[in-house]
């Protein structure tokens, strides 16, 4: 994008966004004034929820010969107007971007929760054709009110972090004092650029000890810097996954931008995989495992663990203990295993298996598959066309929005189809079946079951050998039907008294059930 007279990219109230590999340059003043425009902008004005799970990486943002711009700008009008911390941006990663600008807004973030800014290069454009050079420095700025902030491996004229944060291996440049150790002219060879409008690379000068030491110690420093041919050894490339093993204490183990294998050992550990396809093992203790980006495998082990898959298609095993397991983004597979577990799929088409214990399973967005397993479980499909299996125990199943399939299986279960055209099977046990909105199919199975069709054209199925004084409580004759399955030719229904009916088979068998008619209409009997 170039020569824009408006903002380049605008986002608000969005989830799971990746802004990757763009070149934005030479923006002009807006069509109605010469005021600045933003290249990549997020805002909360006029919204009811913040953007979350955002990645901004590998972009080149160059003011070139145009007007000054705000390069990467996260404004938070909602929190500033009193909306509270619920409107803070959630889980934001800004990395490997190059900003070449002539205003102080290089990278600016206002009020985020879970913010990482790393390996970005923010340089001053002193040769703009518009004569708009601003002399207060080019910033990486985190305004007050953010939480869980990490700022590392960046190069900028000023780095101003006004929220509690972890800051490591950043370099600030001096553009004014040639005698300063970090004077830009003594550290960077900007002649390697093809021209000011198309930034392609900035090389370290021979003898730039500060930059070289930081580059080698940190692995990466900035997105745009390259070492001089003879001045510094080439950085080693990782070969396969890196392995870390914790102690018996409470360890914090952090992976790298690649594939890691990390074992926490005994103790209450914090393990973060970051980028790459990682394998994280909590082992013993009450551990917290965070997969980050990539298709990760997380094994909680013994203890009451908290596991987050992050971005990607993750495989997560809680192990023994009462675990909290979150798939986050991607098509994830979650196993609670032993204990009373909390499983939450998040975005994507997820598979959740509670295992033993009284578990709570939430599918979230997507077409999810939920298995309660043993125990008295609570299953919620959420948005999407979900399939829920209660398993053993007295379970509660809620389909949520979408056309769902609910199977109570063993136990006295409560099954709620909610929105959509749902299919509900009670299974063994005395079950309660609610269709909710939509055209639903309700089949109680074995046991003394209660049916509530709700709104819509509902089908109630009563099977030979499974009827045990079952009750259809809200039959509407204009829309609903009762299917009597397996009774064969010659079967008929007679009314015994009140709401009690009997179905007679040709072989002389009789089964009684109840139908509560809500509107006085005749019952639509269907034999199959």
What does R_g of the chain's alpha carbons equal in angstroms?
31
By three-state DSSP, how is residue 112 classified? strand
What is the per-residue burial (b if ≥16 Cβ within 10 Å, else e) of 146-185? beebbbbbbbbbebebebebeeebbbebbbeeeeeebebe
Match 């020569």 to its residue by tokens. Answer: 3
- CA 435 – CA 406 distance, rounded (Å): 10
**In DSSP terms, which residues pair with 141 in a beta bridge?**
108, 160
Cα first-last separation, the chain? 64
Overall average pLDDT of the 242-266 stretch = 90
- CA 453 – CA 457 distance, rounded (Å): 8
pTM equals 0.58
pLDDT tier at 98, thresholds 50, 70, 90: confident
Neighbouring CB atoms inside 10 A of 113's CB total 18
- CA 319 – CA 353 distance, rounded (Å): 12
- List phi, psi (to 5°) of 214: -70, -40
Q: Are strands 459-463 and 396-398 parallel, antiparallel or unpaired?
A: unpaired
Per-residue pLDDT at 483 exceeds 50: yes
171, 152 Cβ separation under 8 angstroms: no
- Which range, of 240-249, 420-429, 494-503, averages the lowest pLDDT? 240-249
By three-state DSSP, how is residue 102 classified? coil
What does the pLDDT look like over 34-76, one tens digit per residue? 445 778 999 999 999 999 999 999 888 877 666 667 789 999 9
Per-residue pLDDT at 349 exceeds 90: yes
Match 């001053």 to its residue by tokens. Answer: 124
pLDDT tier at 121, thresholds 50, 70, 90: confident
pLDDT tier at 166, thresholds 50, 70, 90: confident
pLDDT tier at 2, thresholds 50, 70, 90: low
The pLDDT of residue 177: 80
Pull the structure tokens for residue 254: 């952090």
Which letter does DSSP use for residue 192 in this model? G
Q: Which of 202, 196, 205, 102 is nearest to 155 (CA)?
A: 202
- CA 440 – CA 222 distance, rounded (Å): 57
How remote is the C-alpha of 304 from its chain's centroid? 22
- CA 518 – CA 480 distance, rounded (Å): 11
- CA 56 – CA 36 distance, rounded (Å): 21
Pull the structure tokens for residue 267: 């103790």
Q: Which of 364, 370, 303 is nearest to 335 (CA)?
A: 370
Per-residue pLDDT at 27 exceeds 80: no
Q: Which of 423, 418, 435 is nearest to 473 (CA)?
A: 435
What does the pLDDT look like over 451-480, one tens digit per residue? 999 999 999 999 999 999 999 999 987 789
């Amino acid at each position: 994008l170039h020569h824009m007279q408006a903002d380049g990219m605008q986002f608000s109230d969005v989830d799971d966004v990746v802004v990757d590999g763009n070149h934005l340059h030479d923006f002009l003043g807006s069509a109605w004034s010469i005021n600045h425009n933003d290249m990549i902008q997020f805002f909360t004005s006029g919204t009811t929820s913040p953007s979350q799970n955002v990645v901004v990486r590998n972009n080149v943002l160059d003011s070139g010969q145009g007007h000054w711009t705000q390069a990467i700008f996260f404004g938070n009008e909602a929190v500033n107007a009193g909306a509270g911390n619920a409107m803070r941006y959630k889980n934001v990663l800004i990395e490997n971007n190059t900003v070449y600008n002539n205003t102080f807004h290089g990278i600016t973030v206002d009020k985020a929760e879970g913010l990482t800014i790393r390996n970005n290069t923010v340089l001053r454009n002193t040769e703009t054709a518009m004569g708009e050079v601003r002399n207060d420095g080019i910033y990486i700025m985190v305004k007050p009110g953010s939480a869980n902030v990490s700022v590392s491996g960046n190069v900028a004229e000023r780095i101003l972090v006004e929220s509690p944060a972890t800051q490591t291996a950043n370099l600030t440049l001096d553009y004014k004092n040639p005698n300063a150790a970090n004077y830009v002219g003594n550290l960077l060879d900007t002649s390697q650029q093809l021209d000011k409008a198309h930034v392609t690379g900035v090389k370290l000068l021979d003898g730039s000890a500060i930059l070289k030491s930081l580059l080698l110690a940190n692995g990466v420093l900035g997105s745009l810097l390259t070492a001089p041919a003879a001045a510094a050894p080439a950085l080693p490339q990782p070969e396969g996954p890196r392995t870390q093993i914790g102690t018996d204490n409470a360890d914090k183990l952090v992976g790298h931008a690649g594939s890691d294998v990390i074992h926490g050992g005994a103790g209450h550990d914090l393990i973060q995989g970051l980028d790459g396809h990682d394998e994280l093992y909590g082992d013993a203790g009450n551990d917290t495992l965070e997969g980050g980006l990539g298709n990760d495998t997380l094994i909680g082990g013994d203890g009451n663990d908290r596991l987050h898959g992050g971005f990607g298609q993750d495989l997560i095993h809680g192990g023994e203990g009462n675990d909290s397991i979150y798939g986050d983004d991607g098509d994830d597979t979650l196993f609670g295993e032993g204990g009373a577990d909390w499983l939450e799929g998040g975005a994507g088409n997820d598979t959740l298996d509670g295992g033993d214990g009284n578990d709570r399973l939430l599918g979230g967005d997507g077409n999810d598959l939920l298995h309660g397993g043993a125990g008295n479980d609570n299953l919620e499909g959420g948005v999407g066309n979900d399939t829920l299996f209660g398993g053993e125990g007295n379970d509660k199943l809620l389909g949520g929005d979408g056309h769902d399939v609910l199977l109570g299986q063993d136990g006295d279960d409560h099954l709620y189809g909610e929105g959509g055209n749902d299919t509900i099977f009670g299974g063994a046990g005395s079950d309660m079946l609610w269709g909710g909105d939509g055209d639903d199919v309700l089949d109680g199975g074995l046991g003394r079951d209660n049916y509530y069709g709700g709104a819509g054209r509902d089908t109630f199925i009563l099977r030979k050998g499974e009827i045990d004084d079952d009750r259809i409580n809200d039959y509407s004759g204009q829309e609903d039907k009762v299917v009597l399955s397996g009774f064969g030719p010659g079967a008929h229904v007679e009314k015994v008294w009140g709401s009690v009916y009997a179905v007679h088979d040709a072989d002389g068998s009789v089964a009684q059930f109840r139908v509560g008619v809500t509107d006085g209409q005749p019952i639509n009997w269907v034999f199959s």
